[in-house]
Structure 1
Amino acid sequence: CDTVVARFRVSSDPDVADKNSEERILLVNQPYNNHNGGQLAFDPAGKLMVGLGDGGSSGDPHDLAQNRASLLGKVLRLEVTSSGPYAVPDDNPFVGLTGVRPEIWAYGLRNPWRFSFDAAHGTLFIADVGQNGYEEVNAQPATSRGGENYGWDRLEGTHCYPQTAACDPAGTVLPVAEYDHTVGQSITGGFVYRGQSFPNLTGIYLYGDYVSGRIWGLRPAEDGWENTLLLRSEFSYALASFGVDEAGELYLVDIRGAIHRIGARPAAETLREQIYLPLIQR
């Protein structure tokens, strides 16, 4: 199967796309039927970022995430305002290098199916789904010029992969947070909260787990990053995605399509006791 990135134009109704206006921007051949695609988002400079998994199967059998001649296991950065399908931005990190795809912004990723930018500071948070042991969050500062290697398939989280092998982490960027499969098995990346309703959440990156339903909050601390479990589980169905509205308020959707919003109990003493997820649409 192939991964297709396509562009549609709005119809006369601004809430509905014109289904006949499809323009295919990018087509990527996939060797297996999992890890086929991921998040699409525009960076602060207006460039389209595309997340692509490592091609699937188990353990990246073709070593595609570390292969910079392949688009798989990468985050791409494209200019899509040109007359053709896309152009490569001049300031992408691998422009002009022989044997390296210039579309690549970052590599060494297993399945970056959810990522987002902090609306205030531009930090890129990449949630990368792990293999057998660990889920991870990578944080790329707004000052980055790209080119980071996030380690897969030499590392899973901060650990050698496979765990029985020795590895050299030199040249890789380690995640700012990870958790093992005793508490969750498939990370679902979210957003940094920049709304007005819950001041205690401001500046915290919220993310969760597809399997366990747990939700964490991650924020910078003096000695690195502070990671706090906010909700143990309020999902009877899988946590599929997060969303944010124009006011910066945060929403979650489960695999059934039920939409929840972040709520708070004002009388609670701790941040963890405050947070809950009222259902707003099913």
Structure 2
Amino acid sequence: MKHKIVLQIFVLLGLLLPLPSTTHGQDAPQYQWVELINVFDNPLYITNAGDGSGRLFVVEQYGYVLILDQDMNLLPEPFLDVTAQMPADVSQGGYTERGLIGLVFHPDFENNGIFFVHYVRYDNKAIIERYKVSADNPNVADPRSATVIFSADDPFPNHNGGQLAFGPDGYLYVGIGDGGDLGDPLGNGQNTKTPFGKLLRIDINNTDTYTVPTDNPFVGNPDFLPEIWAYGFRNPWRFSFDRETGDLYIGDVGEASWEEIDYQPAGSPGGQNYGWNAYEGNHRFSETTPVPEDMTLPIAEYSHNEGCSVTGGYVYRGQAIPELQGKYFFGDYCNGGVWMTSKVTDGVWVTVNQGYLGRQISSFGEDEQGELYMVDYKGIILRLERVD
């Protein structure tokens, strides 16, 4: 079992979320999440295309991808509409984990116009689909270009994962939850022959679907799916790569008592087992599941006294707040709690609670400059800004 020293510091700083500063001898600058726009229906994600346009793309659970231009104006026409593929419960109100849940742009999107979406369809099938932008309008996708590259029959309607991200190696990483219900009844987290409860790594270049990178950790091992990059997850809803270092941070949603942030350093060969359902965070969960000898413990955790559903975020790499460089932000969907964690020495992480916003944090996101955004499921986009 790989141990990490995790120090938790709780600094309750109010609803405006001023962050601690390293400035001494003068009034310290403060930072807060500033509301930019409140027009969306159940937004789940925000991201940029990396094409120099300054646009931000907002994913709505109902099946729309919408565009905010560089002046934060909402364009009237959806970039993508997959509402016909959505389950009925997505549009009926109430809580559901299905629908359109992920979006990522190809690293060379500026030239090839390719992007990918992740959704759970009306028949409870998880779909990853490739699209191309319209040749006539850069603000609209070409629906005729839709190609399913991956699908899996979810055993239950929850714990679907959702995140798609390209790593610094150019491969596509896919987060898939354990398939749902309580306690991982099918044992998917530790079942190495299923995609559920896993982080997959696939090569989407030069093929209609995908191939498996030859350096994936379990290629050639008959006991593992070759797509598996890491396993032992309950629901890796949001994960991200540090755009500067390539380190990987994974927010894995807990069940009974604990939420966790998992970590994989840049250059890792993969293959980590993060413990679910033998462990939840740093704590024993299922006594009937053997403790994995090679389990990797989280770098940060918090109990259900402080929240109930972690939303993984990003390492701040923007220019507006240089003193926050290298700090990883994450939050909680249930109460809007926000935390900041960073490694102080090898194997030692310090996590600081930044306060509680009372928002339903469904995602964080970055613009092209590395500034951080927050998605409130109630329809709001916010940005982390300095307040002097």
TM-score, length basis structure 1: 0.90
Displacement after TM superposition at 1:168 (Å): 3.1
Pick one of 29, 50, 72 that aligns with 2:153: 29
Q: Is the 8 A contact 1:2 1:36 kept in 2?
A: no
SS of the counterpart of 2:323?
helix
* Large movers: runs of 4+ above 2 Å: 164-170
Residues 231-282 of structure 1: per-residue CA shift (max 9 Å, x gap): x2223x411111100111000111123100002223xxxxxxxxxxxxxxxx
Bigger Rg, structure 1 or 2: 2
- 1:214 paired to 2:337: yes
1:131-186 deviation line (CA, Å, top 9, x unaligned): 10000001100021000000000000010004x77963521000000000000100
Say which of 181, 201, 210 aligns to 2:304.
181
Distance 1:4 1:206 in 2: 28
- Identify the residue that residue 20 of structure 1 maps to in structure 2: 144
1:240 matched to 2:352? The reply is no
Say yes or no: does 1:205 pair with 2:345. no
State which of 295, 315, 319 in structure 2 corresponds to 1:192. Answer: 315
- Alpha-carbon spacing, 1:134–1:115, altered in 2? closer, same or farther (3 Å): same
Report % sequence identity: 47
Structure 2: runs of 5 or more not aligned: 1-123
Q: 1:157 aligns with which of 276, 281, 286?
A: 281
Q: For the residues of structure 1 that align with 2:161 and 2:251, how far apart are their CA atoms?
A: 14
Instruction: Give the equivalent residue in structure 2 for 1:171.
Output: 294
2:266 maps to 1:142: yes
Q: Which amino acid aligns with 2:331?
A: G
Bigger strand share: 2
* 1:70 matches 2:212: no
Q: Is contact 2:193-2:224 (8 Å) kept?
A: yes
Aligned residues, how many?
263
| RCO comparison, higher one (Cα < 8 Å, 6+) | 2
Contact 2:161 2:238 in 1 (8 A): no
Query: In structure 1, what is the Cα distance between the partners aligned to 2:304 and 2:137?
Result: 45
Instruction: Give the TM-score of the pair, scaled to structure 2.
Output: 0.66
Cα deviation, 1:42-61, whole Å, max 9, x if unaligned, reads 00011000000000001000
Aligned partners of 2:156, 2:288: CA distance in 1, in Å? 25
CA deviations on 1:189-245 (whole Å, 9 max, x unpaired) are 110000010112100000000001011111011260010112x2223x411111100
